[in-house]
Each structure stands twice: as C-alpha cells, then as structure tokens.
Structure 1
Amino acid sequence: MKMFTAALFILFFISNLLLAQWTYVTPPETFFGGNYVLSHNSELYFANNKDVYKTTDDGNTWVNLTNGFVTNLGNSNIMIEIAGSNIFVGSTVLGVFMSPDNGSTWQSDTSGLEGSFNCHIIYSDGTNIFSSFDWPTYGFYMKPASAGSWTRVNSNSIGSGYAATVKGMTKVNNTLYAATRNSGVFESTDNGTTWTQKTNSGLPSPIDGQHGDRLLNIGSDLFVSTDNGIYKSTDQADSWTRVDQGFAVWNQFNVAQIWGMYTDGSNLYASMAQDDSAYYSTNGGSSWSDISGGLNHRLKSFAMHNGTLFAAQWDIDSSIVKYTGLTGIEKENEFQPEIFSLSQNYPNPFNPSTKISFSIPSNTFVTLSIYDILGSKITELINEEMSPGQYSIDFDASDLASGIYYYTLSTNNSAISKKMILLK
C-alpha cells in the first residue's frame, strides 16, 4: 500500500511538472513580431508589428481592431494603453492613435507632438496619458486622458536628448515615477507637470539600451529593468539593489539583458533578451523560479488575464503563449455569480498556507489584501481588473508569525473582510 501511495505521489509530481509550461494560443494571424499583450476587464489585447487585436474568450477567437484604418502600423513596435473609454496605441513608426469607441473607429492623435513619431512608451495614470519619443525629438508629453492636445513636459525638468528618453513609468500613491534611458529615475508630485531627479544610487547607466523598458511597483517598492539586470528600490528611487540573481547571463561580465518585466500586483515576471528564458518571483525579487518550459522564442510582454499568465512571443509567427503551471488565481468555473462574496478561508486555523475563495458578479477592479491585527497591510494578493466568476487563490504565510490576520476583498463599490488564524 505504501509503495502504491508513493507511486501515485511520484506520478502526480511528474504530471504537474509536465503541465507547468508555456503553450501556444491560437494567433490572430501570422505576421512577424509579437509585441504587446494587455488585459482589461474581460478583454485581452494583443499587438504584433502590424495591427492590434482583441479577444473575449481567452484567445480562441480574435477581432482585428485596427484593420481598415491603420492598415499597417509600419512594421513597428506597438504598445497599447487604455484610459477610461479610450484605447491608445503607440507605434515606433507612425506615432499615436486613439479610439474613443472600443476600437470601432480610430484617429491620429499627434496634435502637439512636434513631429515626433517614434513612440517608445505610452502610459496612463488614470487622469493623464503620457507618451515618450526617441529620435529625432526625444520628447516626453502628457495630455488629459479624455481629450486635448499633447504638451511637452520634459524640457525644463527631465531634460532633452537621447539620455532623457523616458523608457518606463509607474505611480505609487500620488507620486509618479519615470525611468529615463541615461539620467536615472525622476519623480513628480504634481501629476507630471514638473519632475525631480532622484539620487539613483546603485542604478546602472544607461538604464537600458535596446531591450529593458519597464518601471514597475509592487506596493511602495520600485523595480526597473535594464540591459544589466533588474534593480529594486525601497526608498522612493534614491538607492537601488540588483535582484535578478540566478538569471542566465550574456557573458562573463554578468550582463543580463531584460526583455520584458511585469507584475500582477504581488508577483514579478521577467524574460531575457539573449535566450528563451523567463522567471517569476513571489517575494519581490529575493528569489526566482524558472518558468522557461515550452518556450522556443523570447517573450516581450506579459499580462495576467482571468487567472492565467499570457505573453507576447517575439518570433516569425507573431505568437501568443500562456503559462499553465503557476500557483495563483484560479477561475473555478464560468458560472456568473449574482452577488459579490468572500468565503471563509480553508483550512482555518492553517499552517502555513490556506485557500481564499470569492465571487465577482461583474467586471470590476479587484484587490485582495492581508492585514495584521493592528491593521497594517502585510501583502496584496490581487490588484487587477477581473471578469465575472468564482475564484480562489492560495495564501502562503510561511514568513509570518502565529496570530490573527484579516483578509479584505475590495472592488470599486464594495469591501468584505474576514478573520483567519495562523497557528504554527
């Protein structure tokens, strides 16, 4: 009996290893260069070098959003951002386009851009939309997300030229951060009108050349990807520490070029530029797990959608892949709940992990946070747009002391809290 049980365990372990890999999603068409993937509510967006597509069934069928207006985005790198009801598309060849009606119609959105069409990033903080451009103008612009013309904002604060090209942005509470190519990270406390250069101790220069182009945050911690690894700051970008130990390296000089970086609000994901490898971290970069199984090309962009990690894969098939082996949010079924609910964690008391289940009746932004008995936030398990459904997620409290903790599920309109007991 013991041998039979052991055999079953080994079989289960091996089957899990086989399942933990990347698999192909049906691509919208064959065209070189998978560039960008973005999750928004119940929709997943994908951009190759030519067009922008949308799916509402996790990639089984696709709708071409830009076909008929932007017939060819110039064989360029394409980025997607959604602000309110507007979809923005940035192209490294043709500038910025905007759709006010979910992709049905498009218009060129270059008023005020001073002839800049080599768009490197496009980012929304919920109020304003920002765009950054490379040669020849090296401009950094902002405008209201709803309408209006672009205004150049970097002339007097971030600077101009190659070094000042903004390569990534993020927002922590009421502070905006921008990572430039060769001048470090800047911050703005007035919604992007003026910027102040941070100390940036320990951050390499340049931040990136061709590849790394992401600045992210998990809580108040900042992460920047570079052509020489991933760096983390816990003091508002004044000092930085490298946290990509364990990644493959380019050569004996320990250069690790980061191709893509992403967070789902609690976990960090990254891919390499020089090989077909990808990694993820559940503890802010302190340690990483290799999730390269099944890859045969480099990943440029990630998005967590309905509990599944999707990625744009840079190859001749303009492909999209998804990872099936991560422990994270699980969508238990396609049933649409009638009410917003949060179940009691199980088991409870627990040691060291427990499962939290909840129901979402409509598309909404969801956060699931853990607090100690004094009300201090310990961690944030979920921070993303989610579609209707019944979900569950595992919470690992290995690093916490025994005691009473609370977990709170919040949406735009509701919040529910429950108590759980960690007993070691």
Structure 2
Amino acid sequence: MIKKILLLILFGVSYNLHAQWEKVYTNSTWANGASLYIHKNVLFQTGYGNNTNQTLRSGDNGTTWTDISSSFPYTVYFMLSYGNTVFAVTTTLGTTKYSFYASTDDGLTWTEKSNIIRGSGNGAILSMASDGNNLFAVSNRRSIYRSADGGTTWTEIIINYTGTSGILSFAVSGNTYLAVLEGVGCVVSTDAGLNWTLKNGTSNIGVVYKLNNDVWGMAGFSGIYKYNLSTNSWENNYTPGSFNSPISIGANGSKLISTFGDFLTGNRKYYSSGNNGISWSELTTDVIGLNNSILSNYAVAANGSYYFAGYWKSTSGVIAYSIYRLPLTTTSVADKNIIPNSFELSQNYPNPFNPTTKISFSLPSSYDVSLKVFDSIGREIAEIASGYLQPGKYSVDFNASGLSSGIYFYKLSAGSAIHTRKMLLLK
C-alpha cells in the first residue's frame, strides 16, 4: 500500500514510512509474554516462556541485541524511561520483595535502587508510571506506590473503589490519576488518589497511557481517546472506521504510532501522527504478513529513526515472537526566508546511495506539493511528502533500506509543474 505523509510546515518537519517492515529479531522460546521499551534511542525487550526469562538491549535500532539478563535476579516485569535514568522492576523468586533497578548509562550497567515488600493492597508489582516528577509502581490488585525522590522511598496508595478486583492499566498527570479496574472501567482521581470517580466517556476505556504531556485511552471499537484535564472528561481523538479496535500506542516526542485490529478481516493497520494526535494518516496494512497474529504488550514504539512493532505469531504450532522496524524519513525546511526564483528539483545526494539519500527542491510560490518515488517499471513505491507548502527551499531524507538495488525515479508535482529525476540504489 502506498503511504501518505502529513507535512508540518510550522515545524519544518514531516514523517513518512517506507512500504516495507523489516524483521530485526525473532525468538521462539518466548511463548508466555514479551514487551518492548525505548529509552532515548536504546531499545530493550523482555520475554519469558519455556523456563526462559530474558532481557535484551540494542543500541543500534534493533540490528544487534545483547543479553543483559544477568543484571537482574529474576524476570523483568516492566521498564520505564525517566529522564536520564531507565528503571526495571523485578522480583526475587519465592519472596514478596519487588526490586527497582536503575541505570544511568542507557542500560549498560544496573544497580538496585530500592525495593518494596508487597503491601496491604496486595498484588504483584508489574508496571511503572511517571508524571515527569514522581515515580509510580503499580500492582495488579489495589496498590499503587508513589515515590517523590526518584525511586528511593515509596508510599502506598490504596484504590478503594466499589467492585475493585485488580488494576489493569494506570496513568498519571500531576494530581490526576487514571486507573482501569477489572470489571469496573476507568476511574479517575483528581486529588492524588484520595477519591475516585468512574470516567468511561462514551465507551469503556480499556487501557490508558501517558505519552508526552497527555493521557491517552484505548476504547474497543470506539478508537483512541485523549483525556481533557481541564474538563476531566474523555474526548475522542481518532477512529479509523467501524470494526477497527485500537490495540497499542507508542510515542517519541510528537511522533505517535498506533496499531488497530480489523475485526472483520483480522488484519492489522498502522496509523501515525507527526503532531501529537492533531491528525492521523494510515501507514500500512500487514505488509509484514502478520494477519491474525497476536500483538504483544507495549508493542509499538518510536525513536528518532524507526517505528517498531513486536508480534507473536504461530506457525505449525510454534509460537515465535519477532520485532519489526519501519524507517522514518524527515522533511525539513532548508531556508524558508529565501524565496527562490524558480521551481527546481535537485539531484539527490549522495547518488548512488545506500540506504539513505537527500532530495531537495525549491518553490518560488505556494503550491500543493507531492513528492513520489517510483521503481524502474513505473510502480509507485511511496509518497514521501505532500501538503500545501509556502515558498522556500526544502529537503527530504529518503530511506530505502527495504528496497533492492536498482534504478528509481522521484517525481515532484507542484501545481501544473512536474519534474522527475533518476537515482541509483546500490547495496
């Protein structure tokens, strides 16, 4: 499927994804669970199953992975990026102690920061959250633990709400706490956990996330919601159509990626936003051939170079977990203060290239612009820029890591003007 991209003139940046996902990791022993995390531009993944518990680290966008499992006493249940520190919550087998390990060198070395003995609210501590100042450790029963000193000491908060049997998801923004409770729905506290009110919006919110400075909710077939902290209510942010259920959402800065499942076909659909949810566009649908696969927890994420997705898929009775990545390309305003005299599409540089190259163009007037890439027989590969642009000079970084070597063409259309140039990919 051909990709569309939202061009953000205000910031001089837009985002586009190439047509092909690339598998960078697979593991057939993680049959019971796996999660994917990003701290700065470093990736971590945890997995367990078949008597195997592993934590892996990658500093090169998933190309290679290092096993760091020996840094922890047992399974890592959750990881959280907190400023320049990355936290991991784990336990000691056979005890009720849950430990918080911290790394200040991007996961190369780890030390135990603190620990919690299971409290009166009971439950295993399986996740963490942050509002930018305080840290939170979240159990799967009724206990939430808050730390105001960077994870050194913890204070227990009990969610006393009728019908509460377990916390499924938790997010926080200042004194506003949001928790999805099993058999209840989403409850909200605006007084730092003292009192709770049911806030499900027009649809039951099943999962909540704190991304950037916003709290997001995923609601069945109703799509993605954003919580309005001023009105203390949910507002629908995006729904791609009937029978499409949101599965997961991830972010890096203003870049968001969300995965939806099509109930009728079983396909996965990917949508991105380059402006923190103001608008969304579809990236691609199941080009990695994972129809009817099981999307893992926290499976979509983004750093400065790629979107990432993690999946379980059963083949001949064997369940394998895999990580895929999809490259980002960036379009920037080279000089918006200089108005060119003519319409120009420059030769890409470098050329030949592998796998990235820069495409520059100049606009003497405002135009609706489309920049597309075609293969040697004229098939459209990607639309790497589109939108209404003011006069100026622009450049696009095109990533062809998913393409084979050969001749490609890029065509710039602006009003009635059309320019085409040839480029050579050599791998």
TM-score normalized with structure 2 length: 0.58
SS at match of 2:117: coil
After the TM superposition, which residues 102-181 of structure 1 pair with which residues of structure 2 at under 5 Å, given as runs?
Answer: 102=107, 104-105=109-110, 107=112, 109-111=115-117, 113-114=119-120, 116-134=122-140, 137-144=141-148, 146-155=150-159, 159=161, 162=164, 165=167, 167-171=169-173, 174=174, 176-181=176-181
Deviation at 1:277, TM superposition (A): 0.6
SS at match of 1:26: strand
Conserved 8 A contact 2:27-2:320:
no
Q: Match for 2:102: what amino acid?
A: P
Aligned residue in 2 for 1:186: 188
After the TM superposition, which residues 18-57 of structure 1 pair with which residues of structure 2 at under 5 Å, given as runs?
Answer: 19-27=18-26, 30-32=29-31, 35-49=34-48, 50-57=53-60
Aligned residue in 2 for 1:310: 308
Higher strand share: 2
Q: Quick one: structure 1 residues 215 and 179, their matched pair in 2 at CA, closer, same or farther if it must change by over 3 Å?
A: farther
The alignment of Structure 1 onto Structure 2 pairs a total of residues equal to: 307
Distance between the aligned counterparts of 1:266 and 1:44, measured in 2? 19
Aligned residue in 2 for 1:262: 250
Q: Quick one: structure 1 residues 154 and 307, their matched pair in 2 at CA, closer, same or farther if it must change by over 3 Å?
A: same
Q: Match for 1:321: what amino acid?
A: Y
Q: Match for 1:269: what amino acid?
A: I
1:87 matched to 2:87: yes
Distance between the aligned counterparts of 1:248 and 1:268, measured in 2? 21
Fraction of identical pairs, as percent: 17
Aligned residue in 2 for 1:235: 228
Deviation at 1:179, TM superposition (A): 3.6
Please point out which of 287, 295, 302 is paired with 1:293. Answer: 287
Distance between the aligned counterparts of 2:335 and 2:138, measured in 1? 45
Deviation at 1:280, TM superposition (A): 1.0
Residues 348-390 of structure 1 show CA distances to partners (whole Å, capped at 9, x for unaligned) of 659xxxxxxxxxxxxxxxxxxxxxxxxxxxxxxxxxxxxxxxx
Conserved 8 A contact 1:277-1:295:
no
Aligned residue in 1 for 2:365: none
When the two chains are superposed, the root-mean-square deviation of aligned CA atoms in Å is: 4.3
After the TM superposition, which residues 236-251 of structure 1 pair with which residues of structure 2 at under 5 Å, given as runs?
Answer: 236=229, 237-241=232-236, 243-246=238-241, 248-249=243-244
Structure showing greater Rg: 2
Deviation at 1:289, TM superposition (A): 0.8
Q: Match for 2:157: what amino acid?
A: V
Residues 159-184 of structure 1 show CA distances to partners (whole Å, capped at 9, x for unaligned) of 3653672513143xx45442423343
SS at match of 2:228: coil
Please point out which of 50, 64, 67 is paired with 1:64. Answer: 67
Residues 168-219 of structure 1 show CA distances to partners (whole Å, capped at 9, x for unaligned) of 3143xx4544242334352546xx45455375542x23x22xxxx3324566
Aligned residue in 2 for 1:226: 219
Distance between the aligned counterparts of 2:267 and 2:171, measured in 1? 26
Distance between the aligned counterparts of 1:155 and 1:112, measured in 2? 15
SS at match of 1:148: coil
Q: Select the structure with the greater relative contact order (CA < 8 A; seq sep ≥ 6).
A: 2
Residues 305-326 of structure 1 show CA distances to partners (whole Å, capped at 9, x for unaligned) of 23211122234333211113x5
Q: Match for 1:314: what amino acid?
A: W
Deviation at 1:62, TM superposition (A): 1.8
Structure 2 residue runs of 5 or longer lacking an equivalent are 3-15, 314-318, 341-383, 393-413, 416-427
Residues 95-137 of structure 1 show CA distances to partners (whole Å, capped at 9, x for unaligned) of 8432234464554733353474434531122322212222xx4
Q: Match for 1:144: what amino acid?
A: A
Q: Quick one: structure 1 residues 103 and 97, their matched pair in 2 at CA, closer, same or farther if it must change by over 3 Å?
A: farther
Conserved 8 A contact 2:250-2:302:
no
